[in-house]
Amino acid sequence: MKFTADREAVLSSLQSVIGVIERRQTMPVLGNVLLSGSNGRLTMTATDMEVELVAVTNVDIDRAGDITVPGRKLADIVRALPEKASITLSTEGERATLRSGKSRFTLTTLPATDFPTIDDIGERQKIKLPQADLKRLIDKTHFSMAQQDVRYYLNGLLFEIDGKAARAVATDGHRLAMSQIALVTEGQSTTQVIVPRKAVMELQRLSGGQGDVDVIVGANHIRIQFGDIRFTSKLIDGRFPDYTRVVPADPPRTVQANRESLRAALHRTAILSNEKFRGIRLALKNGALVLQAHNPEQEEAEEEIELAYQGEELEIGFNVNYLMDALAAIEGTDVELGFTDSNSSCLLRVPGAQDTKYVVMPMRL
């Protein structure tokens, strides 16, 4: 195998796939990136057996072939070369040699036949989405995923397609985030899959560009095509909780507040909350919302926000981090908070909006 290419083209493709390579691998070949060159195209593939990333770039192929080379070392070398440098990579025996100007680097290789790839995923459903919409779904929900929960199905993001919308839902059992976007092509059958946490974070990094993406759902995988980058991930085999039962339909006590003022008040009050449990008390009164916190050192904080509220008083405790995460994800000037009673969850959303909702469970203080 031998090819010549611009540094920027090779680096761009490498940076697209390198994030999936673990620094410690169970198999040596998983630390490598698969290089496949033919017909003027270089295909780079990286995988950790759960997530696979493939990037394609145009190069000058002098000798077609396939080989695997250490991924992070190759990326570090290419990144360190001068801008607009020309790179030539050739293989001979069990070695790969990269040349650029008067620089030469020799890397060990492993056979391409040892590299695990995901080919046919058994397509069950396919939709097209604007890339910006996919990023929005992830940005609005990903922070509510669980981390290393024994309920393994919570350690990921539910991706749901029904007849009219694509929806992302995440929960760790203490809070829930749900966001949806309307589909251009309606009439899809309902599909639910759970995408693992690591795959979600890679998707968030990759998405956000221009144009559309193809989302293909298979029996055990999800595949998303971003132009010249192909993302494939295994799915979590489990049953996601029925999120529709968690989201309050019409909370009887609803108030509106300036989002930034509430966020700043929560931030100040949280300074004196218990560092371990992060509990904060909300007291809803006529014309005001009072925020209170205290800690084992007997220190206290109190903030009051004026609200247009007339009704029964209510006191309820929450993890302040969960409230602040939701407020950070909500767009717009104002936020709507819906309460049922002191033992029920709080609903946060843009006033009147139905496409994105956040639910935070109460905590005892």
The pTM assigned to this predicted structure is 0.93
**Which of 149, 206, 145, 190 is closest to 171 using CA atoms?**
145
Give the Å distances, CA to CA, from 171 to 155, 199, 202, 240, 243: 9, 16, 19, 9, 9
Domains of the chain by range and CATH? 2-114 (3.10.150.10), 125-245 (3.10.150.10), 253-360 (3.10.150.10)
Angle, vertex CA 209, rays to CA 206 and CA 210, nearest 5: 145
Q: What is the pLDDT of residue 338?
A: 96
Q: What is the pLDDT of residue 86?
A: 97
Q: What is the pLDDT of residue 186?
A: 66
Say if CB 11 and CB 159 are below 8 A apart. no
Q: What is the pLDDT of residue 119?
A: 86
Give the Å distances, CA to CA, from 67 to 31, 32, 35, 230: 13, 9, 5, 19
Q: What is the pLDDT of residue 293?
A: 97
| Mean pLDDT (10-residue bins), the chain, 365 residues | 97 96 90 97 97 97 97 97 97 96 97 94 92 96 96 97 92 98 79 96 90 94 95 97 93 95 98 96 96 96 94 96 98 96 96 95 92
Give the Å distances, CA to CA, from 342 to 139, 269, 284, 304, 361: 30, 20, 10, 19, 10
Can you give the three-state secondary structure of the chain, one letter per residue? CEEEEEHHHHHHHHHHHHHHCCCCCCCHHHHEEEEEEECCEEEEEEECCCEEEEEEEECEEEECEEEEEEHHHHHHHHHHCCCCCEEEEEEECCEEEEEECCEEEEEECECHHHCCCCCCCCCCEEEEEEHHHHHHHHHHHHHHCCCCCCCHHHCEEEEEECCCEEEEEEECCCEEEEEEEECCCCCCCCEEEEEEHHHHHHHHHHCCCCCEEEEEECCCEEEEEECCEEEEEECCCCCCCCHHHCCCCCCCEEEEEEHHHHHHHHHHHHCCCCCCCCEEEEEEECCEEEEEEECCCCCEEEEEEECCCCCCCEEEEEEHHHHHHHHHHCCCCEEEEEECCCCCCEEEECCCCCCEEEEECCCCC
- Cβ within 8 Å of residue 142, ≥6 positions away: 157, 170, 200, 201, 204
Side-chain-side CA neighbours of 104 within 13 Å: the count stands at: 7
Q: What is the pLDDT of residue 187?
A: 62
